[in-house]
Amino acid sequence: MKSLFLFANGRVSALEKDLLPPRMWQMLLSARDVEEAGRLLADTWYGRFLQGGNFENCFEQAAQAIEQELMELSEDPALVRGILHRRDVRNARYIWKAALSGHPSPVETERPGLIPLDVLRSALTDSEPAPELPALMSRSLEEIRSLQELSPAAIDSVMDRLAAAMEMEELPGMYPGFASFLAARMDILNFGIAARCRLAGMDRTASEQLLLEGGTRKPAEIAQAASSGALPALISDTVELESLGSVLRDAIAEKSFLEYSRESERILLGMLDTGAFAVFGPAPLAAFVIKKEYEISHLRILLAAKAARLERSRLLRRLPRG
Residues that bind another protein (CB under 8 A): 56, 90, 93-94, 97-98, 101, 103, 107-110, 152-153, 156-157, 159-160, 163-164, 189, 192-193, 195-196, 199-200, 210, 212, 251, 255-258, 260-261, 297, 300-301, 303-305, 308, 310, 314, 318
What's the CA dihedral at 120, 121, 126, 132 to 10 degrees? -20
Q: 175 or 257, CB closer to another protein?
A: 257
User: What's the closest the beta carbon of residue 52 comes to another protein, in angstroms?
Assistant: 19
Looking at the Cβ atoms of 85 and 97, the one nearer to another protein is 97
CB of 35 to another protein, least distance (A): 17
Which residue's CB is nearer to another protein, number 39 or number 300? 300
DSSP assignments along 55-77, one per residue: HHHHHHHHHHHHHHHHHHH-S-H
Q: Estimate the share of the chain in helix, then strand, then coil, as percent rounded to the nearest 5.
A: 70, 0, 30
Query: Chain-centre distance of CA 248, in angstroms?
Result: 20
Angle CA(242)–CA(244)–CA(250) in degrees, nearest 5? Answer: 140
Least separation, in Å, of the C-beta of 131 and another protein?
A: 26
CB of 274 to another protein, least distance (A): 24
Rounded to whole angstroms, how far apart are CA atoms 71 and 48? 20
Which of residues 240 and 265 has its CB atom nearest to another protein in the complex? 265
Instruction: Closer to another protein by CB, 73 or 268: give it.
Output: 268
The single-letter code of the amino acid at 288 is F
Query: What 3-state class would DSSP assign to 241?
Result: coil
Cα dihedral sign, 107-308-189-150 = negative
CB 55 within 8 A of CB 38: yes
Smaller CB separation from another protein, 12 or 292: 292
Closer by beta carbon to another protein, 216 or else 280:
216
> Least separation, in Å, of the C-beta of 103 and another protein?
7
What is the CB-side half-sphere exposure of residue 6 using CA atoms within 13 A? 3
Shortest approach of another protein to residue 191 CB, angstroms?
Answer: 11
* Other beta carbons less than 10 A from residue 296's beta carbon: 17
- Cβ 59 to another protein, closest distance in Å? 10
Q: Are 152 and 97 in contact (CB under 8 A)?
A: yes
d(C-alpha 8, C-alpha 287), whole Å: 12
